[in-house]
Amino acid sequence: MIQWTEPTRSVYLASPLGFAESTRPFMDQLQPLLARYVTVRNPWDDPAAAHDLQRADAILDRNARLAALGQVNAAIARRNEDAIRAADAVLAVLDGVDVDSGTAAEIGFAYALGKRVDGLRTDLRRTGENEAAVVNLQVRYFIDASGGTLVTSLATLETLLTSVYPRP
């Protein structure tokens, strides 16, 4: 009998959840759920990013601060690109009045790389262009065309994870 010890597939977690204290607990709930099925590549787990941003932001000279922040921004974006490239798939958190612009960019990039993109939208508000669109129609297209699924609860996400990433 094969014993399952750790996930063999990896998923990049695209989300704005780390920006606000009010949403970090949801990320703390979501990440362990994902980790039961896949290795999670969460850019919010990068301690260097926050440290580098704080250090650059503390520079008193405005021109030097802007230059340092620009370098930090590029380094963070490059690490995110590398993590998406290394992942097998992307799970995008789509909550909010509109899908976060960074998350939308990560969805499009992952789709262009041929990665599966799944979406999680627990928000009751509709943000699409018409009543048939729960989220922006282009975001939804990338999810569907990648072979991914849009789910609306953690329970349906777990069902999806069970079917897409079954434990051996």
Q: Residue ranges of the domains in the chain?
A: 10-45+90-163
Distance CA 120, CA 21 (A): 20
Q: What is the pTM of this model?
A: 0.90
Distance CA 108, CA 106 (A): 5
| CATH of the domain spanning 10-45+90-163, picked from 2.40.160.100, 3.40.50.450, 3.40.50.1220, 3.50.50.60 | 3.40.50.450
Low-confidence ranges of the chain (pLDDT < 70): 1-8, 168
Q: Residue 133: what pLDDT? A: 87
Q: Residue 130: what pLDDT? A: 86
Q: Residue 166: what pLDDT? A: 79
Task: Provide DSSP, 53-100.
Answer: HHHHHT-SSHHHHHHHHHHHHHHHHHHHHHHHHHSSEEEEE--SSS--
Distance CA 13, CA 21 (A): 18
Q: Residue 1: what pLDDT? A: 36
Q: What are the tens digits of pLDDT across the range 106-149?
A: 999 999 999 999 999 999 888 888 888 889 999 999 999 999 99
Q: Residue 34: what pLDDT? A: 96
Q: Residue 48: what pLDDT? A: 87
Q: Residue 125: what pLDDT? A: 85
